[in-house]
């Protein structure tokens, strides 16, 4: 990972145009090809970013990231204050808590509780950024990527979208459908998920445990 602190201005050209005026910011460049621009606020959310896969080019005084679809993020470096690169190595990934692990196991055994036409292809389907909780097929044969959380938040939706982006590179799976499953899904996460075409399903853990008929709540 490369951490760059610099006075910079940022311009995004794509579905919409956006520009950040000159200010001191943190630019993060990761080995997966992603780039993100942060300020000293907004918690983990960057001011602007580009997700992989994208092509990053660096020239005198500027860094440019371009996607295959033609989106472009240009960071103009006015003054570099700090530039440091560190190899973080392979990350073991997020360890799920007991509830998430149990939910995943119970749902894998009863994927029809989410939707009647689903069938399980594989649990913990591998990708280069971590395993997909459940990979399923629906009644039309479409691949459905299922992310299981105890509580559905925006970070879970973003994680699911990254998995979909990876699997959409496989012609035997593309285009994938996304499904976020949790015992409770926060309103902001639901709105974000729906805007990206992700289906949200709330389930009752106790019903799954007892084998009672599950009434999934769809949004």
- pLDDT tens by residue, 41-53: 887 889 999 888 8
Residue 219 has pLDDT above 50, yes or no: no
Rounded to an integer, what distance in angstroms lies between the CA atom of residue 149 and that of residue 203?
Answer: 11
Between CA 143 and CA 139 the distance in angstroms is 10
The answer, yes or no, to whether residue 9 has pLDDT greater than 70, is: yes
- Enumerate domains of the chain plus CATH numbers: 2-85 (2.70.180.20), 98-218 (3.40.1350.10)
- Reply yes or no on whether the pLDDT at 177 is more than 60: yes
Q: Which of 98-107, 150-159, 174-183 has the lowest mean pLDDT?
A: 98-107
pTM for the model: 0.57
Residue 20 CA neighbour count, 13 Å, CB half:
23
pLDDT of residue 97: 52
* Residues 72/64, Cβ–Cβ less than 8 Å: yes
Contact between 30 and 85 (Cβ < 8 Å): no
Note the pLDDT of residue 209.
Answer: 82
Q: Specify the residue for token string 């780039």.
A: 35
Which of the four pLDDT bands, split at 50, 70 and 90, describes residue 73?
Answer: very high
Listed residue (131, 219, 212) closest to 167, CA to CA = 131
Looking at residue 218, its pLDDT comes to: 53
Beta-bridge partner residues of 72:
13, 66
């Amino acid at each position: 990972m490369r951490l760059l602190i610099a006075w910079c201005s940022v311009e995004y050209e794509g579905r919409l145009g956006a520009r950040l005026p000159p200010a001191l910011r943190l630019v993060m460049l990761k080995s997966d090809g992603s780039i993100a621009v942060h300020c000293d606020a907004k918690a983990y959310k960057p001011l602007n970013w580009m997700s992989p896969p994208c092509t990053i080019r660096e020239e005198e005084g500027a860094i440019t990231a371009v996607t295959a679809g033609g989106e472009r993020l240009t960071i103009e470096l006015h003054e570099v204050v700090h530039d440091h690169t560190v190899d973080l190595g392979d990350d073991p990934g997020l360890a799920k808590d007991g509830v998430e692990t149990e939910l995943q196991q119970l749902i894998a055994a009863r994927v029809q509780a989410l939707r009647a036409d689903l069938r399980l292809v594989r649990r913990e389907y591998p990708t280069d950024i971590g395993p997909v909780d459940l990979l399923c097929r629906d009644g039309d044969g479409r691949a459905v990527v299922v992310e299981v959380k105890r509580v559905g938040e925006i970070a879970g939706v973003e994680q699911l979208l990254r998995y979909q982006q990876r699997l959409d590179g496989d012609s035997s799976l593309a285009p994938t459908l996304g499904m976020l499953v949790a015992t409770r899904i926060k309103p902001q996460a639901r709105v974000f998920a729906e805007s990206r075409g992700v289906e949200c399903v709330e389930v009752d853990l106790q019903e799954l445990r007892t084998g009672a008929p599950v009434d999934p709540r769809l949004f």
